[in-house]
Amino acid sequence: MKQLALVAICLAAPLHAESHPDASRVLAIGGSVTEIVYALGEQDRLVGRDTTSNWPPEASALTDIGYMRALSPEGVLSVSPDLILAEEGAGPPEAVSVLKSAELPYVTIPEGYDMKGVLAKVDAVAEALGVPEQGRALQDRLAAELSQAETLAKAVETPRRVLFILSLQGGRVMAGGEDSSADGIIRLAGAQNALGGMQGYKQITDEAVIEAAPDVILMMRRGDAKADAAANGGADDVAVIEAARAVPAIAQTPAGRDGRIVVMDGLKLLGFGPRTGEAALELHKLVYEAR
């Protein structure tokens, strides 16, 4: 256990974030940030969350101040926070600028799509809340799970090619390339991103789908039946998989021909929070046990 603690501390170099141990009205912006607050046992200090914060289920009882990338200062300030913890990428920039100029602490939690990044995120939230000991305990657990995933990944002789599909609206494939959370979790699971030459999330052509030749297609559920139906043509996993198989380009890939299409919870898969180690282990199993 001491060894795991050292691993966590070394990987998550202190960010020297300003500490606010007395903050009692905390607003969490970003699904992973909210998850971390709960995992640290500090949920009683939360007074609000953003729309992406749908885990754990109890978080839904908190006041929803809107989507993290479309914030309004009025919505944020309506919950009277005395500390704002916002995931990197929250916006728009104009709204963030207004909030930072207000007389209350605004802490940006850095994003990262590897082991070091997720441990650093936990460190930043724990430091901001003034609970470093809880932070180290959570880092230890995450480090153990991520180390287990790393061991499995290193044992893979021929990595399977995975294509992550964010959405299938109108039959058009929106997929994840390098420098994305999808790419990060695919790597942690010991697989290869089938779109290694593309950056970020982009809509790709049918030709690009076929050329990617994925062994496995990975999709996500959003936890909202209407959102899943709109994005992927199905309100449950079976319907999502059937919608993907119905796309002609996907049907021509090894994954489509062999029915290797898997679905995971979106926030768990891409959030890079307390469940990332669990997500990497689950994805490894799905990828390498897919028929």
Dump the DSSP string for 118-157: HHHHHHHHHHHHT-HHHHHHHHHHHHHHHHHHHHHHHT-S
Q: Is the predicted pLDDT of residue 186 greater than 90, yes or no?
A: yes
pTM: 0.91
**Distance of alpha carbon 198 from alpha carbon 162, whole angstroms:** 14
Bridge-based pairing state of the strands 173-176 and 106-109? unpaired
CATH number of 2-151: 3.40.50.1980
pLDDT digits (tens, 9 = 90+) for 193-231: 999 889 999 999 999 999 999 999 999 998 776 776 677
Confidence class for position 17, pLDDT limits 50, 70, 90 = low
Q: What is the pLDDT of residue 13?
A: 43
pLDDT exceeding 70 applies to what percent of the chain?
92
Q: What is the pLDDT of residue 142?
A: 97
Q: What is the pLDDT of residue 210?
A: 98
Q: What is the pLDDT of residue 12?
A: 41
Q: What is the pLDDT of residue 227?
A: 72
pLDDT digits (tens, 9 = 90+) for 42-77: 999 999 999 999 999 999 999 999 999 999 999 999
Q: What is the pLDDT of residue 281?
A: 98
Q: Is the predicted pLDDT of residue 4 greater than 60, yes or no?
A: no
Q: What is the pLDDT of residue 28?
A: 98
**Amino acid, res. 35:** E
Q: Strand, coil or helix: what is 165?
A: strand
Mean pLDDT, residues 115-126 taken together: 97
Closest CA to 164 of 92, 104, 215: 215
pLDDT digits (tens, 9 = 90+) for 82-105: 999 999 999 999 999 999 999 899
User: What's the fold here for domain 161-289?
Assistant: Rossmann fold (3.40.50)
pLDDT digits (tens, 9 = 90+) for 247-282: 999 999 999 999 999 999 999 999 999 999 999 999
Pick the range with the lowest mean pLDDT from 179-188, 235-244, 252-261.
Answer: 235-244
Q: What is the pLDDT of residue 9?
A: 42
Pick the range with the lowest mean pLDDT from 9-23, 41-55, 56-70, 177-191.
Answer: 9-23
What stretch of H or E contains 228? helix 225-232
Q: What is the pLDDT of residue 84?
A: 98
Question: Residue 200: phi, psi to the nearest 5?
Answer: 70, -160
Domain with CATH 3.40.50.1980 in the chain: 2-151, 161-289
Is residue 287 within 8 Å of residue 160, measured between CB atoms? Answer: yes
Q: Is the predicted pLDDT of residue 14 greater than 90, yes or no?
A: no
pLDDT digits (tens, 9 = 90+) for 136-153: 999 999 999 999 999 999
Q: Specify the residue for token string 């990497």.
A: 280
